[in-house]
Structure 1
């Protein structure tokens, strides 16, 4: 894994939502992605130094139905706009992560339109998976057609896309729906891309499965830590820190193989401030994000206490993918305290970068309280979380009810 990843904290943005773009593709170009660049100073003030962008490529609707991996979505802008954003970010020391959707494409992708015209047995047809004469849809979504990852031409295409945008200046790739792709496919692509861009970082989206084994076979640097995400919010919401302790112990074992990508919110899940109903306990989740080993990311708006519930329906993601205002001065004032909490905890992470891959040990465990400790070269940091009404003891003294505390000793 490249050295820079140890120090990166991502601010994740869903671009189409952030800029208030239309829900379907347009025939013109709207130069909107520069609005994200207007928030780079805010990103840095928060304590982040990485900008993780959701889909920016031409698509039919939500961005994950890509129709052209080499073209910026017209609802966001054009090549000049994305080049300007990358340059502005790098000028401020901010890394850029692109979202690569390489498990499937939209039905209007040129190769798929050719495959429909020429048939499943054609050269173009060989790029896709078929069930008889019908293309295989990704997880039942008819608008998303699954690529044939056994075809070397598909691997060559994906590598060419990655190298194209790395040549343009991005620093890494999030691989959407990596869990649906054979790990051997990524191994061939990663090898080809690293030969040209040795400092690239690859993180695969996995919701379930054997994370360590997938990394070993695929050659990816990291995997999204959904197991820890779930344990974080449900342990807090259900007052069951035993669930969290179990997930932490399992996560510690992963560190022998890779450092996971950690988060408490993203574009696909209900906001943490809506999941944890007692608002006094939302900072507990943030504290875990920046104390536990991993490559952490903050989903835009979480640092302001945004709320939003994901629903299983058409448009059910809209509430968690909102438009942002023109600038920080237009944010509502009630998010300021949550913002300061994020700053404080990211500051702790910055002062102790070794937390990146240091296992945490669990002690003083009960349903409503837990102490975590991490040690490195004689330094020990502890985090105590208390969901209960009564104070609990910690290495730094008593922690009041419904509070958290970090102690260095």
Structure 2
């Protein structure tokens, strides 16, 4: 039996942005922005969401990833009690909650870093960070130097090979599970996290909560180095993310299909036993609507996201097709404030399309964990099957602006195909399915008989 996360449709929330919190944390007292976040829950339920990934949440100084207290919710959002209530409301709505775990680095206001600044060599925390060197200063004027994440000296890198650091962070995870009843952690910068730490985290969380999920942010490399039975359950599928938008922009379904063959084909797919976390945009990437050259492709992009292998995720606001592109110096346009009062006005056909896809994904186990099989492939048309036990779901996509006729053989047989959106029944003719698709149209069908 598959775990809850394998059957989930995720929603990615960036709370500091979506609530319009101040860019700098100078608050004397906690704000009350969880009231806004609580108001999103009915919208998520209506959209068919069954899990959220929310973060960053730890108390920080600026953007949320410069942590200064791992046991406090960022006061720009509210209090620990506010977050506890938020998780409770999510669980009551049938929504699992996964939070951002920022364990590679801290902010400069974190207590261990401050202690080193004050006591230098005499600090009990002198070995908590990588590359501490008391013989030279840092670019930020410290009397010592240290290793920083990607050269950003406001983010000193933790030494995860230090048992004291590892024990501290595992205790932090226990705190978040016991205090807030979270269901999983998304590991920030998992690509540079210490492997032994991730193994210890997997062992630790398996004993904390049944089906606790660990997902890592990984952009490049062999995903199975991080997602495997001894470390993480899943990682971000940036490879498919790239294929989905560039395959559409180039009118090249071969790029998308090649990615899926390499990853998920039953015979030879290198990640066929890993359910990767799939997405088309996030808090670091331009909005999908801003990436697409042909805006009509937005529906087929989301059809593929929800029917190809993986655990699909929608980034907040993209269900309305909002746009946003980063600059070389600013990400703010990727993380806009959206008030719950705007939901009704923003609602459009894309919102309904994603809602239907989410419902179908949750209703049909084959779309969650079913075997993938390619059925037809041209530059602008693509058809594939997802099969689990006796359930066979066919997705057919036409990314051309003009209509197309698709004909392909069904190795699983069957008497007819039922359109899961319209209810239309299409006869299977001598083992072949014949479909007419309009421009930029897709169909999802179930094989019957």
Query: What TM-score, normalized to structure 2?
Result: 0.86
Match of 1:343 in 2: 355
Unaligned runs of 5+ in 2: 134-143, 408-432
> Take 1:260 and 1:151, find their aligned partners in 2: how far apart are those partners?
30
Match of 1:259 in 2: 275
Unaligned runs of 5+ in 1: none
Match of 2:341 in 1: 327
- In the TM superposition, residue 363 of structure 1 has moved relative to its aligned partner by 3.2
Which of these two proteins has the greater Rg computed from alpha carbons?
A: 2
- Secondary structure class of the residue paired with 2:227: helix
- In the TM superposition, residue 328 of structure 1 has moved relative to its aligned partner by 5.1
- Secondary structure class of the residue paired with 2:435: coil
- In the TM superposition, residue 262 of structure 1 has moved relative to its aligned partner by 0.9
- Structure 1 pair 210/329, CA: closer, same or farther in 2 (3 Å)? closer
> Take 2:79 and 2:334, find their aligned partners in 1: how far apart are those partners?
25
Query: Among 147, 153, 156, which residue is 1:136 paired with?
Result: 147
> Take 2:238 and 2:122, find their aligned partners in 1: how far apart are those partners?
38
- In the TM superposition, residue 131 of structure 1 has moved relative to its aligned partner by 5.9
- Superposed CA offset, 1:305-352 (max 9, x none): 011012221xx21111011113355533xx410101101111221221
Match of 2:430 in 1: none
Match of 1:113 in 2: 114
| 1:303-322 paired onto structure 2 within 5 Å | 303-313=319-329, 316-322=330-336
- Structure 1 pair 283/181, CA: closer, same or farther in 2 (3 Å)? same
Match of 1:234 in 2: 246
Superposition CA RMSD, Å: 1.8
| 1:145-164 paired onto structure 2 within 5 Å | 145-164=156-175
| 1:52-131 paired onto structure 2 within 5 Å | 52-119=53-120, 122-130=123-131
Tell me, yes or no, if the aligned pair for 1:392 and 1:398 is still in contact at 8 Å.
Answer: yes
- In the TM superposition, residue 212 of structure 1 has moved relative to its aligned partner by 1.0
> Take 2:434 and 2:154, find their aligned partners in 1: how far apart are those partners?
55
> Take 2:304 and 2:72, find their aligned partners in 1: how far apart are those partners?
38
Query: What TM-score, normalized to structure 1?
Result: 0.94
Q: Which moved more, 1:37-46 or 1:354-363?
A: 354-363
1:165 matched to 2:172? The reply is: no
- Structure 1 pair 254/121, CA: closer, same or farther in 2 (3 Å)? farther
Match of 2:232 in 1: 220
| 1:246-395 paired onto structure 2 within 5 Å | 246-252=258-264, 253-313=269-329, 316-327=330-341, 329=343, 331-332=345-346, 335-388=347-400, 389-394=402-407, 395=433
> Take 2:70 and 2:132, find their aligned partners in 1: how far apart are those partners?
25
Q: Which moved more, 1:235-244 or 1:26-35?
A: 26-35
Tell me, yes or no, if the aligned pair for 1:184 and 1:217 is still in contact at 8 Å.
Answer: no
